[in-house]
């Protein structure tokens, strides 16, 4: 008998409970359909966000963090950022507290979706985004505050920087350790999955000692730990994973006109945020984009879209982001048949153009259904 796996879950805010309910049903059905050997998922709820605040007075209870520190698998819906309180962002707080340093987002086209680009079917990329450093570290000070003036005065007087003391100011920390462990995970994925290349996406032509260092450290890591299975673009060797780099703004153009030339992207935090959303727009939007935040011990799957408060409670949301997160989770634990069942069901239902409103507005002759009905169609397709 196969071991059952515990998945800790946070429903999320806004449309979170709606999409999570559907996703859980589909994920469990895929496992049940694919196996008869007793394997399955045991779901254990944790509190965070508005539900947690209502029940405990805290948006991120310590009990939730303690449970996640020893967890292997977790999943959450979208969480709102509190308007007031000490947490800048619940998502960022979770990533930093749990050292979820790699945000991994596969972006792939599903047949039937109509796209603003000519060849969305050529998009098949996995973005590895560093998740704990860069400007997302949250080290910034409001303009004209004593803290901002003190830091700016130091930069001007001690470091010789030309800065306006009336400016708001932020700090962009990027480390060799953080950059190399992210690139390592991207290369390991490319090797394991037979991908042809890993592209380091950076703005090192301008930010030479942060993003330029990310590029340098990435090449160093590849040469030191993967010399037998990788090569550079300049010295391409058949059968080896090519390590290359692109300036971030140029990569946006490449993603539009030559997506087939890129398979795995490794990026600093901000670049990864931008490029993964832009790629998702080419294949149906964030409602079709799954993702996982990973440490060395925890895989924490999350919807990549927001809480969509304007449609919350109206049964209009697209559950595919979390449904496809479920497929990623099942792949991660080695239950490939169940993951394939989910992908096949999504392909079948979208191919018939009976979809939620976000997809229907992008497709000709589509029939609009609600979140629950879309989930029912996925279950029937399995």
Residue list for the binding site: 89, 91, 95, 105, 129, 273, 318
Measured distance CA(185)–CA(337) in Å, rounded: 24
DSSP states along 103-130: EEEEEE--TT---SSS-GGG-EEEEEEE
Q: How far is residue 15's CA from residue 139's CA, in Å, rounded to a whole number?
A: 30
Tokens 């925890």 identify what position? 298
Q: Catalytic site residue 203?
A: yes
- List, in order, residues 6 or more apart from 201 with CB less than 8 Å away: 245, 246, 248, 251, 265, 266, 267, 268, 271, 272, 275
Nearest to 299 by CA among 3, 1, 5, 2: 5
167: left (phi over 0), alpha (psi -120 to 50) or beta: beta
Among 51, 180, 195, 203, the one annotated catalytic? 203
Radius of gyration of the chain (CA): 22
Length reported for the chain: 382
How far is residue 295's CA from residue 41's CA, in Å, rounded to a whole number? 21
Our answer to whether residue 208 is catalytic in this structure is no
Catalytic residue from among 150, 177, 249, 352:
249
For 25, phi then psi, to 5°, come to -60, -45
**13, 245, 273, 358: which one is catalytic?**
273
Q: Which of 59, 101, 109, 136 is catalytic?
A: 136
Binding-site residue numbers for D-threo-isocitrate are 89, 91, 95, 105, 129
Known binding-site residues for NADP(+) equal 318
Give the active site residues.
136, 203, 249, 273
């Amino acid at each position: 008998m196969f071991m059952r796996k515990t998945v800790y879950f946070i429903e999320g805010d806004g449309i979170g409970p709606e999409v999570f309910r559907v996703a859980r049903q589909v994920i469990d059905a895929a496992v049940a359909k694919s196996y008869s050997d007793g394997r399955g998922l045991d779901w254990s709820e944790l509190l965070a966000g508005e539900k947690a605040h209502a029940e405990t007075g805290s948006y991120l209870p310590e009990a939730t963090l303690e449970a996640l520190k020893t967890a292997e698998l977790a999943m959450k819906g979208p969480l709102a950022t509190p308007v007031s309180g000490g947490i800048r962002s619940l998502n960022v707080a979770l990533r930093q507290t749990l050292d979820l340093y790699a945000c991994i987002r596969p972006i792939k086209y599903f047949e039937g979706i109509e796209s603003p680009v000519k060849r969305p079917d050529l998009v098949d990329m996995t973005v590895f985004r560093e998740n704990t450093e860069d400007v997302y570290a949250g080290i910034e000070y409001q303009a004209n505050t004593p803290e901002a003036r003190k830091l700016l005065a130091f930069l001007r007087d001690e470091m010789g920087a030309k800065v306006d003391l009336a400016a708001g100011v932020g700090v962009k920390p990027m480390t060799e350790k953080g950059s190399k462990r992210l690139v390592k995970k991207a290369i390991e994925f490319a090797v394991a999955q037979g991908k042809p290349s890993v592209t380091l996406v950076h703005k090192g032509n301008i930010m030479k000692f942060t993003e330029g260092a990310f590029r340098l450290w990435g090449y160093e890591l590849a040469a030191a730990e993967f010399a037998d299975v990788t090569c550079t673009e300049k010295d391409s060797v058949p059968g080896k994973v090519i390590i290359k780099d692109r300036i971030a703004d140029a990569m946006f153009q490449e993603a539009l006109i030559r997506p087939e030339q890129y398979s795995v992207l490794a990026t600093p935090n901000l670049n990864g945020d931008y490029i993964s959303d832009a790629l998702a727009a080419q294949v149906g939007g964030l409602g079709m984009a799954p993702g996982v935040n990973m440490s060395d011990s925890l895989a924490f799957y999350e919807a990549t879209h927001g809480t969509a408060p304007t449609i919350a409670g109206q049964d209009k949301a697209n559950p595919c982001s979390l449904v496809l997160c479920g497929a990623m989770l099942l792949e991660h634990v080695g239950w490939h048949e169940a993951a394939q069942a989910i992908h096949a069901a999504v392909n079948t239902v979208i191919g018939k153009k009976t979809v939620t409103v976000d997809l229907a507005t992008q497709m000709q002759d589509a029939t609009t259904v609600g979140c629950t009905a879309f989930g029912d169609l996925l279950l029937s397709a399995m």
